[in-house]
Chain A
Amino acid sequence: MLSFIAKRLLSGVLLLVVVTSGTFFLAYLAVGDPTPGLLGNSATPAQQAALRARIGYDQPVLVQFWNWLSNAATGDFGTSWRNFQPVGDQIALRVPVTLSVVVFATVLSAVVGLAVGIACGLRPGGLLDRGLKLASVVLFALPGFWVSLVLVIWFGIELKWFPAIGYVSPEQSVGGWLRSITLPSVSLALGAIVMVAEQLRNGFLQVTNQDFVRTLRARGLSGRRVTAHVLRNASPAALTVLALMFVGLLGGAIVVEIVFNLPGIGSLTQSASQIGDIPVLLGLTAVTVVFVVIVNFLLDLVLGWVNPKVRER
């Protein structure tokens, strides 16, 4: 198990270096000289040169990359080119917002998806099962921002149960925090719930028909215990989908954060991209990759625990 963990960690670190390096050079190619955008077009060449020197843009690209990489390794992501605030501080301020929404959406997806998936697996062809099929078609056909808008209009504007925009931190008010993340989380989770439920339902049906389940039943195990065995064998696919959904939800957060005006890493990514704030973009990339690596690592651990054969891969 230790070598399994070591391999996964090593591949995670390699992924981090490869993705951030790629982002660095792609961003430099795409953005070009950032000084006119940062200073305004009325800045003199001398003022632009001074800013280039201040942010280190006058150095060779490889030197800039090495400086960034060596600092990032110590946790220093540099300062934003827009406001000269530490990138780490800005990301730290915004990660809780995005994580609140994404984690809540993942929990919703897991709990509701699990319940619906099992219920559909136990009664294939039933009303709920047919409803799940219909939902999978409808929800995938609808654009995410449209679903978000419908939720805002119903629950934010008409019923006023939840705020239409904004984020309240749990330090300010736990109730306010839950209310502020509910609509964004639900709009993110709807598609994920259907995917998890479908995976679980299909896996459940596959496993139910296997010989060992018949044997368990023949031995007189209660329905609940049989279901538990089936669930353990049917869950890897659903767990994998759930982990992939978590990563996908991080990306989907950009749209949701814009619709709900949430100050998360999604909206920061958007604004940093618009003005070509490369240090912020690199910091965000690194943080996102770390999340992806951690989630995949945890997934591997869980899958390895559920199915020991996975550890041999």
Chain B
Amino acid sequence: MTRTRTAALVAVAVATATALAGCTGSGGGTGATDTGELKAGVFLDVTSWDPAGADIGFDGPYLSAVYDPLVALDKDGKPVPALATSWEWSADRLTLTANLRTDVTFDDGQKFDAAAAVANLQHLKAGTRSGQAYLNVAGFEAKDADTVEIKMSKRDDSLLYFMGLGRSWMASPAAIQSGALANGPVGSGPYTYDKATSTPQSQYVFTKKQNHWDNATYPFPTVRLFPITDQTASFNAMLSGQLNVQFANAANLPKAKENGWNIAQKPSSWVGVQFADRTGSQAPALGDQRVRQAISYAFDSAGILKAVGNDSGTVTNQLFPSDNSAVYDKSMNDKYKTDMAKAKQLLKDAGYPDGFSVKMPMSPIFQAWQPAANQTFGELGIKVEWQDMAMPDYQKNAPTFPMFLAVIAMSGNDMATLTDQVTTAQWYNPNPSVDAFPDVKALVEQVERAEPGPAQTELLKQLNTKLVDLAWWSVWYQADNTYFSVKGITVTPVTGMMFPTLRFIQRG
């Protein structure tokens, strides 16, 4: 999914850059405790009020204020009921039947029903950003007023997860039809967007509806969301009491503790080297498993996490989340423990005793990792010619290079991790190359056929072991996202959401 990738890249890199600049705030112990309203500093502005054009990463808090989802997620990434009260898969898992609430009305007076749900789902499937969640969906049908059927063209065990992550916000069908969503939201969510007191791109104000069907989940009478890209400004706002929740820079953890704030952290992105050319079509050396393994052995992941990542993360070579994935296997983390001698030997065995030359892209936000990469590649004899480019160009051009430095958002669902990171072509995984590795292909097919549950998890574990062994990626560590909140407000991070939706920000 493209959803959180840009956000992840920007967020993690800027957090690191800010940490390196090390120029934030005073001490002071002036922690604000005003919890009457929620005042949250979000890293990015809302991408679009149209759910089909929205990004998942940082759009969650904005969209969750004004829209209800068909399916929501719990803190572990498990799909839970929202406007869809229950659902059931057919035996062949090619049809999903969902029952809907019947007591919901959109802000423009339109009633939510199965026809409205179908109109929304069709709109989301056609959306340039949202469409990828529905790639395996053949169509939607309203069976009756409160039942909707989703017909699959191919089994997809991650569909409900992606719907819950932020791909099933329901908007007024009339607003979709007229294109009104480009100018502002028309949903049925727990809050009303107060356009008069909001300043787009600076401050968004939402006031609570008294008769929302899920009133208990949203404790704040007013929500103010501030897009603040500069993390120093955001931290200063937190110190001054203008914010009571913040997407934070881990470099400020000591200050947060001094102020007595709540601190919430969760793995959100993997950091390392992405091998876009595992078959060696561009850079023949990378087609050799030993070369990829050599690169994995060479990097001092713990050192990089400490120096660049504020020690806020987990050193691992896997990209199933280290905190809540049943597939993640801690015992494998030492497989590529830093060993330069072994790395050089592997390169020699592969026929590259003097290394090789390769071109890699570079953009300003990756510069924090560049010295470590330069040093490590240099010790291996790998001569890197860096090609500088702006951040938007990085996403456009990185897939054309045989390998590149990566900060990629992770999924909180194991099947989604498989599709996101392994089997589906994405900008960060331009050549899935599963077909070129028969062992991998066979395991993927078994996983996709397996019954969801322990059997499927066991196969995913085997696949994970295989991918780590093949050095499918050179993962250095999983970086945490960090959130500060004042006493009286708690944030529950969710892997896959760069900033959690409002249901995960509670009093307490």
Contacts and interface: CB of A to CB of B under 8 A. Distances in A.
Interface of A: 32, 36-37, 39-44, 47, 83-85, 93, 146, 149, 152-153, 156-158, 160, 163-167, 169, 172, 258-263, 267-268, 271, 274-276
30 contacts: A36-B396, A37-B396, A40-B129, A41-B5, A42-B129, A42-B131, A42-B132, A44-B128, A84-B182, A146-B23, A149-B236, A152-B236, A153-B26, A157-B30, A164-B239, A164-B242, A165-B226, A166-B242, A258-B229, A258-B233, A259-B232, A261-B202, A263-B200, A263-B201, A263-B202, A267-B201, A268-B201, A274-B390, A274-B392, A275-B392
Nearest to B5: A41
Given A37-B392, A169-B199, A274-B391, 8 more contacts: A40-B6, A43-B128, A85-B182, A157-B30, A165-B226, A259-B230, A261-B228, A263-B202
Nearest to B45: A271
B504 interface: no
Contacts, number: 116
A11 B271 CA distance: 53
B202 A166 contact: yes
Nearest to A156: B240
A47 B233 contact: no
Nearest to A165: B237
B226 A166 contact: yes
A263 B203 CA distance: 9
Contacts of A37: 392, 395-396
B59 interface: no
Contacts of A42: 1-2, 128-129, 131-132, 426
Given A163-B240, A165-B242, A47 B230 contact: no
B25 interface: yes
Nearest to B399: A41
Lowest 4 A-B CB distances belong to which pairs?
A263-B202, A164-B240, A41-B427, A40-B2
B48 interface: yes
Given A42-B132, A271-B201, A258 B230 contact: yes
A167 B129 contact: no
A36 B390 CA distance: 14
A160 B5 CA distance: 37
Nearest to A275: B392
A158 B28 contact: yes
A158 to B, nearest CB: 6
B55 A40 contact: yes
Contacts of B392: 37, 274-276
Contacts of A157: 25-26, 28, 30, 236, 239-240
Interface in B381-416: 390-393, 395-396
Contacts of B182: 83-85
Contacts of B129: 39-40, 42-43
Nearest to A276: B392
Give the residue among B23, B55, B236 with the most A Cβ atoms within 10 A. Answer: B236
A255 B133 CA distance: 39
Contacts of A274: 390-392
Contacts of A39: 128-129
A211 B350 CA distance: 89
Interface in B18-64: 23, 25-26, 28, 30, 45, 48, 55
Contacts of B26: 153, 157-158
Interface string B330-371: 000000000000000000000000000000000000000000
A153 B25 contact: yes
A146 B199 CA distance: 27
Nearest to B197: A172
A100 B422 CA distance: 52
B236 A164 contact: yes
Contact of B232 (A149, A156, A262): A149
Contacts of B202: 166-167, 261-263
Given A41-B2, A259-B230, A36 B395 contact: yes
A164 B237 contact: yes
A259 B235 CA distance: 11
A160 B237 CA distance: 11
Contacts of A47: 128
Contacts of B241: 160
A84 B228 CA distance: 22
A32 B237 CA distance: 37
Contact of B240 (A83, A160, A275): A160
Interface string B220-235: 0000001011101110
A261 B225 CA distance: 13
Contacts of B234: 165, 261
Nearest to B393: A32
Given A40-B55, A42-B129, A157-B28, A163 B242 contact: yes
